[in-house]
Amino acid sequence: MKNATRAIPVDLLRILGASAIFYFHGGLVTGWPLSQWGEFAVATFIYLASFCAMRYSPPAPGRTRSYWWSRFKAVYPTFAVISIILFAASFLYSPRKTGFHYTGEDLAANLLMVSQYVGRPWMTQPMWFVPFVLQLYLILPFLVRTPVRLRTMLAAFVVSGAACAAVFALLPTHADFANGVCRNWSPIFRLPEVLFGCILARSRSVAGAAAPVAGYIACCALFALSALPYPPALPTLLLPLKGAVVSLVLAAIAAVFLPFIKDKHAGIVGLFGRAAFPFFLLHGPGIGFVSDKFGRNIPAWILYFVLCWAAAIALMLALEKTLRRAKAGGAAG
């Protein structure tokens, strides 16, 4: 990829990753084949977050606070608007996980991004990724100054493994909850995936990335084998390996499509790429509704998929227009 603000392969991976997660959530109620693997496309978004930060907008020395603020402004408005929309929509159609509309406490916890930490329901389950990625942006300025080599990657696996082991030791009879903590609560538990994105950002060619990718997958396999003495931790310790496998599959699919995407299509791909984040957050709540009304009817699911993308694009464009106006107004003032 060239040194540009945006790149078609990045946007294409965002689109494919978001679509894979849609397939996973739909598969929970329909039983679609291999849908359980779609969950691990989250790793692709972790790689891309650190990759894009390192490659395209690395934090400048002495400007860490402005970097944090810019990242917050890039993520939080979309999250907040979708939270309020879903809160209002819950009065029209009760979410399955609550059986009734969300409360003011649920909305407050959601907007403060502490829902999972205080036992409140997210407006939609993928929202756990928002505090996760903002924590990732908090540590990225320090990773910029860290040499990302194989030994650094091994150290990341050790740190991540020790953090996960501490959680399981504190919750010996609640393996499922411990797995959720290690999966969703902090990038410290998924530090190897963060550093892997940094490694890819510093690779300037496919050949240059081959050795780091192979080394990372080997580390992932060893990490998974470390669960042998304690099988309840296997789902947690398999996360990096499964995420790498799914991301390689998505990358292979992207490689098939890339030759057919010409310069004239770049704008469309970029549009969908920018809408991938709101799509990621928006699609979940309607899954139960579509399942209740249409079961496994394929045309209904395809229509819902298209409508989610249309809503995500419309919301993204509206937010971008609002932010541009606010910026122009601030500059004029």
Query: CB atoms < 10 A from the CB of 258, how many?
Result: 12
Q: Residues of the chain with pLDDT > 70: what percent? A: 92
Residue recorded with tokens 């917050």: 72
**Residues in CB range of 191: below 8 A, 6 or more apart:** 156, 157, 159, 160
What b/e readout covers 162-193, taking b as 16+ CB neighbours within 10 angstroms? ebbbebbeeeeeebeebbbbbbbbbbbbbbbb
CB 215 within 8 A of CB 148: no
pLDDT at 243: 92
Instruction: Say whether pLDDT at 167 is over 70.
Output: yes
pLDDT in tens, 52-80: 877 777 777 777 888 888 888 888 888 89
Place of tokens 């953090």: 163
Q: How far is the C-alpha of 27 from the C-alpha of 33, rounded, in Å?
A: 8
CA angle, 215 as apex, 211 and 219 as ends, to 5°? 170
Identity at 312, one-letter amino acid code: A
Q: How far is CA 230 from the centre of its chain?
A: 28
Percentage with pLDDT > 90 across the chain:
26
| Confidence band for 148, pLDDT divided at 50, 70 and 90 | low
Render pLDDT for 94-143 as a digit per residue (tens, 0 to 9).
Answer: 666 556 788 888 899 999 999 988 888 888 888 899 999 999 888 888 77
Contact 231, 179 (CB under 8 A): no
pLDDT band at residue 1, thresholds of 50, 70 and 90? very low
Q: How far is CA 20 from the centre of its chain?
A: 11
- The stretch 23-35 carries a mean pLDDT of 89
> What was the pLDDT predicted at 301?
92
The confidence score (pLDDT) of residue 323 equals 73
DSSP H helices in 90-174: 104-111, 115-118, 129-143, 150-170
The model's pLDDT over 293-302, given as tens digits with 9 standing for 90+, comes to 888 889 999 9
pLDDT at 106: 87
Quote the mean pLDDT of the chain.
85
Ordered by start, the domain boundaries in the chain are: 8-332
Separation of alpha carbons 143 and 331, rounded Å = 33
- Distance CA(195)–CA(207), nearest Å, equals 19
101 contacts 155 by C-beta, under 8 angstroms: no
First to last CA, the chain: 39
Reported as a pLDDT band with limits 50, 70 and 90, residue 2 is very low
The number of helix segments (H) and strand segments (E) in the chain equals: 15, 0
Which residue is associated with the tokens 């969703």? 184
Predicted confidence band at 276 (pLDDT cuts at 50, 70, 90)?
very high
Amino acid identity, position 260? F
* Cβ atoms of residues 89 and 285 within 8 Å: yes
Least confident of 38-42, 89-93, 220-224: 89-93
Is residue 305 predicted with pLDDT exceeding 90? yes
CA 104 remoteness from chain centre? 26
Q: How far is CA 151 from CA 51, 164, 209, 216, 316, in A?
A: 19, 20, 16, 11, 40
Check pLDDT > 70 for residue 46: yes
Specify the pLDDT at position 112.
93
Place of tokens 């692709």: 44
Q: Where are the beta strands (DSSP E) in the chain?
A: none
CA distance 312 to 184: 23
Question: Do 183 and 42 touch, CB atoms closer than 8 A?
Answer: no
Reported as a single tens digit per residue, the pLDDT across 192-243 is 998 888 888 877 777 777 888 888 898 899 888 888 888 888 889 999 999 9
Residue of 9, 62, 1, 23 lying closest to 284 (CA atoms)? 23
Structure confidence at residue 156 as a pLDDT band (50, 70, 90): confident
